[in-house]
Amino acid sequence: MRVSIDDRPAEPNPGVGSLEDLVTAISASLPPSRFVREVVLDGKRVPRRRPGPNDGSALGGIEAVEIRTADRSSWITTELQDSSRSLERVRTSLARTAELFRDERLVDANRCLLRCLEALEQFLDTLFLAHLILPQLGAFRVENSSMDALEEDLARLLGEMLKRQEKKDYESLAELVECAVLPALSRWSAALRQVGMSALSNA
């Protein structure tokens, strides 16, 4: 198995048996200013937010592990700004998606919804990394809600959208998007602006 860190070859630790162990060992070897921001197995990115199929199991069959790291302070400010812009694009796309479902243009609507769901999953993955850098992030309050509560609500809404899509309950899905998801993303945009300003002021 080939292991690289920021495109530089690294010697795999013979005592490491799982992806979780490998990431933990590499994280411990990094300078305090850096962290593991991305893991790629055989060319496929592994989400950090939730355990992947290989996180707790042996890495047998994996040929290449790529570990990418980043500077903590620069990543948090840049990523929060990028996430805020991305959410605005997702909000626009989701509003259009709801219109497509109501117009019964189902092929276009489902294609657009898929792209939005992928973007929101990526956003939740970014939040997971942000928690690693700013442990106090979860307690940060926006509109009388903590960031942890906002995150739980967004994850719940994502699951609910998937359920309604699977049931082909498109009218209900459009209503959920318009009445719950779009307002939730507006709250997140405000939250990211506040957290970004706080991070910049403490940099």
Instruction: Select the more confidently predicted residue: 159 or 134.
Output: 159
The CATH architecture one would assign to domain 2-71 is Roll (3.10)
Question: For residues 164-184, b (16+ Cβ closer than 10 Å) or e, as one string?
Answer: bbeeeebeebbebbbeebbee
Q: Which of helix, strand or coil describes residue 107?
A: helix
Pick from 193, 115, 127, 131: nearest CA to 154: 127
Q: Which pTM value belongs to this model?
A: 0.75
Amino acid at residue number 135: P
| Mean per-residue pLDDT of the chain | 84
Instruction: Say yes or no to pLDDT of 53 above 60.
Output: no
The H-or-E segment that residue 40 falls in is strand 34-41
The structure tokens 């106090």 sit at 136
Q: Each residue of 190-200: pLDDT tens digit?
A: 888 777 656 54
Instruction: Say yes or no to pLDDT of 183 above 90.
Output: yes
Q: Which of helix, strand or coil describes residue 69?
A: strand
State mean pLDDT over 92-110: 95
Q: Each residue of 121-133: pLDDT tens digit?
A: 888 888 888 887 8
For residue 79, which phi and psi values (nearest 5 degrees)?
-70, -35
> 51 pLDDT band (50/70/90 cuts)?
very low
